[in-house]
Amino acid sequence: MFSSVKAFEGQQYSVLKKQCMQSGTLFEDPFFPAVDDSLFYQGNRIGHVHWKRPGELCDDPHLFVDGISAHDLHQGQLGNCWFVAACSSLASRESLWQKVIPDWKEQEWDTEKTDSYAGIFHFRFWRFGDWVDVVIDDRLPTVDNQLVYCHSHDSNEFWSALVEKAYAKVYGCYEALDGGNTADALVDFTGGISEPVDLLEGMYAQDEAARNQMFERALKVHNRDGLISCSIRATTVEDMEARLECGLVKGHAYAVTDVRKVRLGHGLLSFFKSEKLQMIRMRNPWGEKEWSGPWSDSSEEWNKVSKSEREKLGVTVQDDGEFWMNFEDFCHYFTDLILCRLINTSYLSIHKTWEEEVMRGSWVCRDDPLRNRSGGCINHKATFLQNPQYVFDVRKVEDEVLICLQQKEKRATPKEGRGENLAIGFDIHRVELNRKYRMHTAQQKVAGSIYINSRCVFLRKELKEGRYVIIPTTFEPGQQGEFLLRVFTDVPSDCKELTLDEPPQTCWTGMCGYPQLVTQVHVLSAEGLQGQDSNGASDPYVIITCEAEKVRSPVHKDTRCPNFDIKGVFYRKKPKEGIHIEDKGYSRTRLGTCELTDQSMKSKLTSSVLPWSMVLT
């Protein structure tokens, strides 16, 4: 997975550490120096800052003290609860944090080999399709000998402060982390895809069936090492970080640290009871201020659970910022849930294996309409189809497709005044089965994402067998930027960009001819005839033939009234030759509706040939 890890700013950790060891000096990072510019981009807001190494803050510094856990993290004087919440989730996943903190044993302070310390560390984040290795020195900002930003519960533990510094380096400075999206940090820690869930819009508090389904989804993500976060939406500035009577805080990111079904009852009798409670555990990055309702740390509801079950859950009666809620109460109070899935692409896994396609592209503004690739959303009909277009196939009768569009991070360059992300999204159109050139007329839109100025936009959609085109766009035309498009399907989709507008002209064009007409054939349906023999075949499919090119529909099993709804597009060199449509399933059917569209004509035709075969001209 890390064979293609890229060195951030070209800094090679092993090379730099070796140089420091040979020279007997402690590393000082020239790309992220110990100055105010590394802290702020809008001016100093906290007074004079002293940069100190961990050895200057305590006698026995460590990367980890008694391992790593969500309790290690406490948010400092920075509005980056979104990042700290993601770190809390990360800390509960050993397989994940060891990717973010590589070679952690080698990076740990060694009390027996003090000469191995060079003041240099490195961490890894997934950025725009690549894992990047970020090198930092361990000089940390302090005021009155206390760490200003993220810090651990133990004063001699520094992994959280160092990871935060590496992340701030990627973004340009610490202040760039003030306000952000937990979904982005979860993706940066995993390389997964984040799915935002609007708990209000889904009405999960009122709809028990939908709530149960959502709990199972969250449980599956958690059990498969995914990361989860949640929050209560703040609708006004005054609402931000306002504490509710129940102890929860609005506009604040919480890390979900456990999801499970809790068995009620005591003793052997509990094992024969079918009743299990849907429970979810969260942590406040502040390290305090907890939920005070049912199933809070000291509530009487825990008397319904055996002592052994409570110990297994790790229930403690202390204000450590971590608490349990039942899922119904959770859906009542929380408004937003983020599920970050680790998409499994390994064929050796026992879990579902996804096929992944990754496309890199860009929105580029040009004067030539055929070369312009920044046409804006579908509201701008005159330019919408000038955007990049990507074709993919769904090869199952129906398949769940996951699509994630990510734009090149702009928050990482706030000092240059480019700190705002573009509003982005995408539409999905069902197209002809043989489509291989760019669309120039709108087709059947089957799905679309929201448009938002988030770094990532995600959509999950069940699609029928066929060919589709994804059109990723900015909301407004004329905006430029880079993007990453990731498509996940159950079977290979052969996703690729459509770059040609029409068949290319070659040296043989003069002799062989060049297409004079573009014709679209749309076979909609067939109708079963009355009195069909029950023993007759009933697996119809259609073949459309034009100038030696064929388009074959999927087979429709066990039906006399197939809804074909298939299209073929043909670039015709000989417009006078007919287009053949024939039923190869040999079912007693007649053609219901067929449309033939070119530059000047559109007709609906029927036939009652058994099995039918027809020629369109």
Secondary structure letter of residue 351 according to DSSP:
S
Own/partner long-range contacts of 499-502 (Cβ < 8 Å, ≥24 apart): 499/438, 500/436, 500/437, 500/438, 501/370, 501/437, 501/438, 501/440, 502/437, 502/571
Instruction: Give the whole-angstrom CA distance, residue 69 versus residue 88.
Output: 7
Respond yes or no: is residue 507 known to be catalytic.
no
Cα of 607 vs its chain's centroid, Å: 48
Q: Return the DSSP state at 66.
A: S
For residue 550, give the H/E element and its range. Answer: strand 549-552
Nearest to 407 by CA among 90, 201, 181: 181
β-strand pairing of 130-137 with 6-7: parallel
CA dihedral 82, 87, 90, 94 (to 10 degrees): 180
508 token code pair: 């043989």
Report the length, in residues, of the chain. 617
Of residues 71, 122, 252, 556, which has the active-site annotation? 252
Among residues 284, 344, 387, 421, which one is catalytic?
284
Report which of 311, 333, 315, 331 is spatially closest to residue 323, judged by C-alpha positions.
315
**284 is known as an active-site residue:** yes
Question: Active site includes 387?
Answer: no
Is 123 in contact with 100 (CB distance < 8 Å)?
yes
Residue 534 φ then ψ, to 5°:
-65, -20
Task: Say how far residue 41 (Cα) sits from the centre of its chain.
Answer: 29
Can you read off the two tokens belonging to residue 588?
Answer: 């007693």
For 18, the 3-state DSSP assignment is helix
The catalytic position among 20, 81, 377, 495 is 81
Helices (H) and strands (E) in the chain, counts: 11, 27
Cβ contact 605:557 at 8 Å? no
From the list 521, 524, 396, the residue with the least C-alpha distance to 464 is 396
Q: Which residues pair with 182 in a beta bridge?
A: none
Q: Can you state the angle between helices 182-190 and 81-91, rounded to 10 degrees?
A: 40
* Interatomic CA distance for residues 101 and 91, integer angstroms: 11
Instruction: Pull the structure tokens for residue 305.
Output: 């659970």
Helix-helix angle 81-91:159-171, to 10 degrees: 130
Asked whether the bond before 141 is cis by omega within 30 degrees of 0, the reply is no
In whole angstroms, give the CA distance from residue 204 to residue 212.
9
**Distances 209 to 262, 331, 336 between C-alpha atoms, Å:** 19, 13, 18
d(Cα 215, Cα 258) in Å, to the nearest integer?
12
Instruction: Provide the annotated active-site residues.
Output: 81, 252, 284
